[in-house]
């Protein structure tokens, strides 16, 4: 009975992490079912952990939950975990030689950011994304490519791209929790008052900041793509490349619509995602 309940819970988590027609769905669509399942479980674990600051109303609850997850990851190393996703991690971590300590590093980075949600400069923002999105993408890359280390720098840039995109896609919930993932450095350069974003109103200054964010994401994406193309076996990073590429296409759509990020939802249609992903695959 417990096994059936765990299976149902995992199915629900995976469905919400990579729903039919989503960026992730098309990014993983061409992979073998076993690899798809492994990546979806990794994504579900990271999504559960990384979304806590924005989905829970009280930071003390977030801290308590993160402490619990740290304990659960440590138990998972000993195969004594109780959470269905952690139990599902056992064979994946072992088969692909993934490191539980990387998950703990991710949680620590989130805990530290709760205490001081400020990014004075580009380095501070990149460091945060390195220990969250970067760790996640390195683990996923190791599932698709045993020699993922040779692509470490490309993964770093592409993971940063995903982090920048994710910030825009969830800016409304993040601003509502006063988590503004923009640097003081870029705000000063563009003469933008970051505190005004907390009002959830779009201004010309905010549009400049958002566009700057997109331009930065495109820059790091291109660096990552160029690095992948310069090495053999780069096609094994296809899931990462596709998710970043489709995310940037969403950014273009939002930019064309003049950033209605606080007023209504804009999304690429599944058909357009399918067409874009097929076209991009031919180039890598």
| Nearest to 272, CA basis, from 254, 251, 249, 252 | 249
pLDDT band for position 6 (cuts 50, 70, 90): low
> Which pTM does this prediction carry?
0.93
The whole-number average pLDDT for the span 190-196 is 88
- The lowest-confidence range among 41-45, 86-90, 195-199 is 195-199
Amino acid 1: pLDDT: 42
Give the C-alpha separation, 226 to 222, whole Å: 6
Is the confidence at residue 233, as pLDDT, over 70? Answer: no
CATH code for the part of the protein at 2-281:
1.10.600.10
| pLDDT above 90: residue 5 | no
pLDDT, tens digit, 9 for 90 and up, residues 59-107: 899 999 999 999 999 999 999 999 999 999 999 999 999 999 999 999 9
- Higher pLDDT: 8 or 28? It is 28
Answer yes or no: is pLDDT of 248 > 70: yes
Distances (CA, A) of 189 to 175, 192, 200, 208: 21, 8, 21, 11
């Amino acid at each position: 009975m417990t096994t059936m309940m765990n299976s149902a819970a995992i199915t629900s988590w995976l469905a919400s992490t990579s729903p039919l027609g989503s960026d992730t769905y098309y990014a993983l669509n061409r992979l073998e079912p076993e690899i798809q399942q492994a990546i979806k479980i990794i994504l579900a674990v990271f999504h559960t952990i990384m979304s806590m600051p924005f989905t829970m109303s009280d930071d003390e609850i977030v801290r308590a939950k993160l402490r619990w997850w740290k304990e659960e990851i440590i138990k998972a190393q000993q195969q004594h975990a109780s959470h269905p996703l952690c139990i599902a991690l056992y064979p994946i971590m072992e088969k692909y030689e993934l490191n539980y300590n990387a998950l703990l590093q991710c949680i620590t980075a989130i805990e530290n950011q709760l205490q001081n949600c400020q990014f004075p400069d580009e380095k501070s923002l990149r460091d945060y994304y390195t220990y969250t999105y970067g760790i996640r993408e390195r683990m996923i890359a190791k599932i698709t490519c045993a020699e993922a280390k040779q692509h470490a720098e490309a993964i770093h840039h592409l993971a940063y791209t995903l982090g920048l995109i994710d910030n825009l896609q969830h800016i409304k919930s993040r601003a509502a929790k006063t988590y503004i993932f923009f640097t003081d450095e870029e705000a000063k350069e563009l003469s933008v008052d970051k505190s005004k974003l907390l009002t959830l109103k779009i201004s010309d200054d905010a549009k400049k900041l958002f566009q700057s964010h997109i331009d930065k994401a495109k820059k790091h994406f291109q660096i990552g793509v160029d690095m992948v193309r310069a090495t053999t076996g780069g096609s094994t990073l296809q899931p990462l490349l596709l998710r970043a590429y489709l995310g940037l296409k969403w950014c273009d759509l939002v930019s064309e619509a003049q950033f209605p990020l606080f007023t209504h939802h804009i999304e690429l249609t599944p058909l357009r995602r399918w067409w874009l992903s097929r076209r991009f695959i031919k180039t890598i």
